[in-house]
Chain A
């Protein structure tokens, strides 16, 4: 497994925080996915060995949680909340707009690997809907046209920056 020194250090400091090693499976998956953009079979076996459990114990967690991916996520991960409050405020329309503006089909990753665009369930920011989570940043009140522009710029900027480093 090829992981950065920083990620490895995070992993080493996290495991002893738990009374039982197996509890660290979620944080370890988070660390690996944030570096590699997905959870490979190699990663599953590596984590299993690290935590002294069977690979199936890691796989069952990976396949349960929507956040863990076995296919590579785009450089930028865009999640549009589609649950009721946001839907009432125009989340579906926003989703259509983003599909066009980013030239990316909803629920898919662009072929060049720059953007993953998908609907997500309630992001717990219902009072300011519709909302979108771009990687770790929340954008709110996106039924106002002037709010969408800056978000799109940021997404495109991050996608380009990602392409430049690869």
Chain B
């Protein structure tokens, strides 16, 4: 049987009967989860989210329940909740769908999470490049406020919480939670050093702060609605719930797909339609531009020493981790045999060079040099020893910076070279000019 999607978060989003309005959401049983939650004790809700096994959908895949449990509740300071909608990892566009098509699901998730954590003021940090999304959210919040679902004394429960939409201004680094917090405070978004600045203890205005991804917060609604027992039946142990994968690049049917864990073969062929006619998959970048590439011809070995092929990789947190990469923000970019791997890397390194905040020297300087070297490999002027130089240099960035962006610069360079060394060597030696594949190929469908 062909593998199919399992739509929970996106159940209504693309249906004809559905719109982003509150009436549409209420017709489908919206805000029932909030009503249910308000009748419970906050600590029970926190426990439920922990037991549900819900993991963060933004990148690191950390348990949402544990993240909440780390919040300092004894400080006497206010606790803040921030929804991270600064979706800027290359290849990721799931939050865009959730915000544009079903904003009330997010707002309900935020209100439940806020109530569960005694939060009185919540924020949505939305990237500047989604101006329409910000407007939709603002309208949705007003609609919810008019129905007493946001604001003072929500549904007569005595609980009050407001949501403020805060727009970014085009910086990738604001997706890093401490950078985001700095930006919310009106400063340059330089990530903070941990320890001591764990947001759960010293976050926004030095108060305990929870930063959750859009998709994570939307999942909270379903944990409450379904109950822990039903929710944990979705997915597999350690990878509960569905995930929305964003597929782009050289594949027949790019798009966003909400699925339970399945194999890479099922996903790429049954769900995404396979490669373009006459092409072969070369590899996939599984979780946004910063993640290590998975080669299609490669043999992988898991921790127990069992080997498996690209087709057998299970598309979820642990499955992709077993193959040596990370599911990150679930932005899957597919490369095929027509793609020049060096050009692909040159494109990715240009992104990270542009987006390095400049606070830490290894990342600021290193990202620029990875960009310069990969660019000269593509446009002429590279030297044969450049491949080793590039590889060595990249290894000195990750882990030597305040935030994990150092790894975003390191991982692509290292993994592309390790897996496609021949192409790098021949490109560095040939000294050819021209970004061929990007310029000349126009895809006809």
Asked if A90 meets B169 with Cβ closer than 8 Å, knowing A51-B186, A61-B188, A127-B246, the reply is: no
For the complex formed, measure the closest distance between the CB of B266 and the CB atoms of chain A, giving whole angstroms.
19
Question: Would you give the 0/1 interface string for A47-77, flagging 1 where the beta carbon is closer than 8 Å to chain B?
Answer: 0000101000100110011111000000000
Q: Are A65 and B169 in contact (CB under 8 A)?
A: yes
Q: Are B348 and A90 in contact (CB under 8 A)?
A: no
Tell me which residues across on chain A come within 8 A of B128, comparing CB atoms: 30, 65, 67
Report the separation of the CA atoms of residues A88 and B345 in the bound assembly, to the nearest whole angstrom. Answer: 12
Q: Are A93 and B169 in contact (CB under 8 A)?
A: no
Tell me which residues across on chain A come within 8 A of B248, comparing CB atoms: 85, 88, 126-127, 129
Report the separation of the CA atoms of residues A128 and B350 in the bound assembly, to the nearest whole angstrom. Answer: 21
Report the separation of the CA atoms of residues A53 and B248 in the bound assembly, to the nearest whole angstrom. Answer: 44
Q: Are A128 and B205 in contact (CB under 8 A)?
A: no
**A53, A127, A128, A144 pick with most chain B CB within 10 angstroms:** A127
Q: Are B166 and A121 in contact (CB under 8 A)?
A: no
B71 within 8 A of A: no
Interface stretch, picked from B55-63, B249-257, B365-373, is B249-257
Q: Are B351 and A90 in contact (CB under 8 A)?
A: no
B2 within 8 A of A: no
Tell me which residues across on chain B come within 8 A of A137, comparing CB atoms: 132
Inter-chain contact count A-B, CB under 8 Å? Answer: 161
In the complex, which of the residues B92, B121, B167, B285 contacts A19, with contact meaning CB atoms closer than 8 Å? Answer: B121
Tell me which residues across on chain A come within 8 A of B166, comparing CB atoms: 23, 26-27
Tell me which residues across on chain B come within 8 A of A143, comparing CB atoms: 442-443
Asked if A26 meets B168 with Cβ closer than 8 Å, knowing A124-B127, A126-B331, the reply is: yes
B95 within 8 A of A: yes
The residue on A at minimum CB distance from B183 is: A26
For the complex formed, measure the closest distance between the CB of B183 and the CB atoms of chain A, giving whole angstroms.
7
Asked if A88 meets B246 with Cβ closer than 8 Å, knowing A26-B166, A26-B186, A61-B186, the reply is: no
Asked if A124 meets B132 with Cβ closer than 8 Å, knowing A25-B186, A61-B188, A84-B289, the reply is: no
B445 within 8 A of A: yes
A92 within 8 A of B: yes
A44 within 8 A of B: no
For the complex formed, measure the closest distance between the CB of B137 and the CB atoms of chain A, giving whole angstroms.
14
Within 44-79 of B, Cβ neighbours of A (below 8 Å) are at 78
Report the separation of the CA atoms of residues A68 and B167 in the bound assembly, to the nearest whole angstrom. Answer: 12
Question: Would you give the 0/1 interface string for B227-267, flagging 1 where the beta carbon is closer than 8 Å to chain A?
Answer: 00000000000000000001111100011100000000000
Q: Are B186 and A23 in contact (CB under 8 A)?
A: yes
Asked if A64 meets B205 with Cβ closer than 8 Å, knowing A17-B164, A92-B438, the reply is: no
B355 within 8 A of A: yes
Report the separation of the CA atoms of residues A30 and B333 in the bound assembly, to the nearest whole angstrom. Answer: 32
For the complex formed, measure the closest distance between the CB of B54 and the CB atoms of chain A, giving whole angstroms.
23
For the complex formed, measure the closest distance between the CB of B433 and the CB atoms of chain A, giving whole angstroms.
15
Interface stretch, picked from B8-16, B83-91, B423-431, is B83-91
Q: Are A144 and B445 in contact (CB under 8 A)?
A: yes
B379 within 8 A of A: no
The residue on B at minimum CB distance from A137 is: B132
Q: Are B289 and A83 in contact (CB under 8 A)?
A: yes
Tell me which residues across on chain A come within 8 A of B130, comparing CB atoms: 124
Tell me which residues across on chain A come within 8 A of B311, comparing CB atoms: none
Task: Please report A residues at the B interface, Cβ cutoff 8 Å.
Answer: 17-20, 22-27, 29-30, 51, 53, 57, 60-61, 64-68, 79, 82-85, 87-93, 96, 120-129, 133, 136-138, 143-144
Task: Please report B residues at the A interface, Cβ cutoff 8 Å.
Answer: 78, 87-93, 95-96, 121, 127-132, 164, 166-172, 183-189, 205, 246-250, 254-256, 285, 289, 331, 333, 335, 339, 344, 347-348, 350-351, 354-355, 357, 435, 438-443, 445
Beyond contacts A27-B167, A65-B168: 5 other A-B pairs, Cβ-Cβ < 8 A, are A65-B169, A67-B128, A85-B91, A93-B440, A121-B351
Closest 9 CB pairs of A and B: A65-B169, A126-B248, A85-B248, A22-B186, A67-B169, A67-B170, A25-B186, A136-B131, A66-B170
